Structure formats: structure tokens, C-alpha cells
């Protein structure tokens, strides 16, 4: 269990300076603080926010076992060779990272750990305050402020939470593999729509062309409002094949957004969603603070037994909140 920064709250510039100087311990503690909403979490984020906005956030999602971690690992190596620093957030990994592809390979694990240019964090905090998307976004903010050039977020693309997380990245990569039963149609429609780049990993297996054809067929039905056509990159992550092409596709998308003057627009859209979510969290927390322990269950019982109507009840709670504001 990593300690939080509560002992250091309220946040002095020293903590921010140490974080920005690349101190990995402070970085890990700062992420724990915002993730668990430990003492001073909001002061910390306020102090860090002016230092954010520089990192590129790459979201990666796809079905379990598609090779996401292996691909993240290859990309991390690629960027490290170019002298860039990397932060990795693995969200709710089905196999914990320590047993998964990146860290399971002891030699590579050693490589990474001896390289302070790569910081890996796994988040398995479903049900955490404010939800997984909130916790991940805040962790990315900390990594961004710490000066990491690239932040990669890996999620298993199964639920809305995961879609919400990667959708807010600067570039979203959807990883598919050959032989997924009924193939691409079975992948959640929401995931297809968020892809800025498609990867067909495990292209060493039979059926990669078929997956490509299916993606193309689905693409022909959708027009994106930014008019970008997501490229399809074939990779064999386990031996590094296609990594260069993927990095190039990532760079191309960034260049396209710049050329079309869409960077700010995309950021504004993302913040519009995040602000609404933050507001919802804050208001919900405030509403919850109106309840003493067990009163929600008591109200629920009263409504279930038709002793009370839920509409009046909610109005009453909201009006109480307004009065206490």
C-alpha cells in the first residue's frame, strides 16, 4: 500500500517542485492522494493544474487479451528511444500488471524499473469515490504535471466506464484481433465510434484481412465530424512488428488536428464533459452529506412500501441542500 501525501498537506510548493523534478516516490504518493481523495487532494490538483496540458494522452482499449499491455510496452520502448518520458496507467487490468505482459516478463520489468523514464501505475479502484473515470483523469493530470511527455492509458473495452476513460484521451486507439467470434460486429458500437486509430494486433494469426475488411465496411457508414479517416495499423506486438507504423499514425493524427485547427476544439469538448461530471460528483457528494448513516436505506424502504413518494423526497433533499448552501 502506497502512503498518501496526507502528512504533507496542505501542499507547499515543495511537493509540486519535487513532483516536477521527477521524484517517482512523490509521484506515486500524489496519485494515491488524488485517487483515494486523501487529505488535500483538491489543493494538490489546484496547484498542479497550471503545470498541465503539455503531455500527450494516448488511450488504448480493446477486448481482454488482445495484446494491449504488450503494445503499450512496445510503444513505451519506442518513445524512450526517442528520449521521451512515459507514464502508463492500466485501468482495472483483468490480469494485474504485475502478472501481465509488461511486468510478467522479468527482464523487461527490470528494464523498466531501472529506467526512471517509465512510470507504471495500475488502477483497480472500481467503486472509488467519483468513479473510475474520475480517478483515472486525475491520475493523468498528476502525471502530466510531473512532466511526462506521453501518458498511455490501457483499459479493457467492455463497459461504459472504459469508453469514458479513453474517449477523453488526445488520441484513442482501439485494438482488435483476428478470430473474435463474430468479429467486429460484436464489439460494442460505442467503441468503434471512439477510435482515432484501429490496430489489428496478432496479425501473425489468420484472419487479419477479414477484420480489416469489416472495419472498413463499418467505417463507410460513419462520417466523423472532424473528417479524419481512422487508419488501420496491423501489428504483432509480441515481436514489435508495426510499432513504428503505429507511432507514426499517432503522430499523423496529432498533426492533422493541428493543421485543421481542431486541437482547442477537441479540448473544449473534452472539458465540457469532464466539467459536467465533476459537477455531478460534487453535487452528489453534497447530497450524500445530508444523509446520516442508514437514512438512504430507510427512505428506500419507505418508498418501496409506498409510505412516501420518491419525487417529493428528492425535491425535499435538494431544497435542504439549497438552504444549507
Ligand X SMILES: Nc1nc2c(ncn2[C@@H]2O[C@H](COP(=O)(O)OP(=O)(O)OP(=O)(O)O)[C@@H](O)[C@H]2O)c(=O)[nH]1
**Total residues interacting with Mg ion, rule: CB under 5 A:** 4
Build a one-symbol-per-residue string for 24-63: x at contacts with ligand X by CB under 6 A, - elsewhere.
----------------------------------------
CB of 187 to ligand X, least distance (A): 14
- Tell me the DSSP string of 235-252: -BGGGTBTHHHHHHHHHH
CB of 104 to ligand X, least distance (A): 8
Binding status of residue 201 toward ligand X by CB under 6 A:
yes
Measured distance CA(318)–CA(325) in Å, rounded: 11
> How far does CA 45 lie from the centroid of its chain?
17
Which of 33-41, 187-195, 233-241, 250-258 is the region at the interface with ligand X (rule: CB under 6 A)? 233-241
Binding status of residue 70 toward ligand X by CB under 6 A:
yes
Binding status of residue 204 toward ligand X by CB under 6 A:
yes
Which of 93-101, 139-147, 212-220, 262-270 is the region at the interface with ligand X (rule: CB under 6 A)? 93-101
Figure out which of the listed residues 6, 36, 84, 95 binds ligand X, where binding follows CB under 6 A.
Answer: 95
Which of 55-63, 67-75, 281-289, 296-304 is the region at the interface with Mg ion (rule: CB under 5 A)? 67-75
Figure out which of the listed residues 66, 139, 232, 250 binds ligand X, where binding follows CB under 6 A.
Answer: 66
Q: Which three cell numbers stand for residue 37?
A: 481523495
CB of 100 to Mg ion, least distance (A): 5
Measured distance CA(177)–CA(53) in Å, rounded: 33
CB-facing half-sphere around the CA of 135: CA atoms within 13 A: 25
- Tell me the DSSP string of 284-324: HHHHHHTSPTTHHHHHHHHHHTTSS-HHHHHHHHHHHHHHH
- What are the residues facing 88 on neighbouring strands? 120, 152
Interacting residues of 228 by C-beta distance below 8 A, sequence separation 6+: 196, 253, 256
Figure out which of the listed residues 197, 237, 249, 250 binds ligand X, where binding follows CB under 6 A.
Answer: 237
Among 274, 234, 250, 86, smallest CA distance to 171 is for: 250
With residue 186 as reference, give the H or E element that holds it: none
Figure out which of the listed residues 40, 59, 93, 131 binds ligand X, where binding follows CB under 6 A.
Answer: 93
Binding status of residue 125 toward Mg ion by CB under 5 A:
no
Binding to ligand X, residues 128-157 (CB under 6 A):
156
Binding status of residue 69 toward Mg ion by CB under 5 A:
yes
Among 212, 218, 250, smallest CA distance to 232 is for: 212
Which of 69-77, 120-128, 234-242, 317-325 is the region at the interface with Mg ion (rule: CB under 5 A)? 69-77
Q: Which three cell numbers stand for residue 6?
A: 496526507
Residues forming contacts to Mg ion in the complex (CB under 5 A) are: 68-69, 93, 100
Amino acid at each position: 500500500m502506497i502512503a498518501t501525501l496526507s502528512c504533507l498537506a496542505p501542499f507547499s510548493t515543495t511537493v509540486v517542485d519535487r513532483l516536477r523534478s521527477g521524484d517517482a516516490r512523490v509521484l506515486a504518493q500524489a496519485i494515491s492522494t488524488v485517487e483515494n481523495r486523501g487529505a488535500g487532494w483538491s489543493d494538490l490538483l489546484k496547484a498542479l493544474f497550471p503545470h498541465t496540458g503539455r503531455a500527450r494522452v494516448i488511450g488504448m482499449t480493446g477486448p481482454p487479451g488482445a495484446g494491449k499491455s504488450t503494445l503499450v510496452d512496445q510503444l513505451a520502448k519506442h518513445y524512450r528511444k526517442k528520449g521521451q518520458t512515459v507514464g502508463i496507467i492500466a485501468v482495472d487490468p483483468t490480469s494485474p500488471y504485475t502478472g501481465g505482459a509488461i511486468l510478467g516478463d522479468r527482464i523487461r520489468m527490470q528494464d523498466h524499473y531501472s529506467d526512471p523514464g517509465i512510470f507504471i501505475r495500475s488502477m483497480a479502484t472500481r467503486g472509488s469515490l467519483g468513479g473510475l473515470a474520475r480517478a483515472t483523469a486525475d491520475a493523468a493530470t498528476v502525471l502530466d504535471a510531473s512532466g511526462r511527455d506521453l501518458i498511455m492509458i490501457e483499459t479493457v473495452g467492455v463497459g461504459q466506464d472504459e469508453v469514458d476513460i479513453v474517449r477523453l484521451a488526445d488520441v484513442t486507439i482501439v485494438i482488435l484481433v483476428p478470430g473474435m467470434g463474430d468479429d467486429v460486429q460484436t464489439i460494442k458500437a460505442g467503441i468503434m465510434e471512439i477510435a482515432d486509430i484501429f490496430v489489428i494486433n496478432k496479425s501473425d494469426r489468420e484472419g487479419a484481412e477479414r477484420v480489416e475488411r469489416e472495419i472498413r465496411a463499418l467505417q463507410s457508414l460513419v462520417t466523423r465530424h472532424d473528417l479524419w479517416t481512422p487508419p488501420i495499423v496491423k501489428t504483432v506486438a509480441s515481436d514489435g512488428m508495426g510499432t513504428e507504423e503505429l507511432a507514426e499514425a499517432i503522430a499523423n493524427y496529432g498533426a492533422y488536428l493541428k493543421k485543421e485547427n481542431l486541437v482547442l476544439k477537441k479540448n473544449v469538448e473534452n472539458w465540457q464533459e469532464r466539467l459536467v461530471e465533476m459537477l455531478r460528483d460534487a453535487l452528489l457528494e453534497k447530497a450524500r452529506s445530508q444523509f446520516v448513516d442508514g437514512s438512504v436505506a430507510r427512505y428506500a424502504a419507505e418508498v418501496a412500501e409506498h409510505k412516501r413518494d420518491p419525487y417529493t423526497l428528492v425535491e425535499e433533499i435538494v431544497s435542504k441542500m439549497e438552504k444549507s448552501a
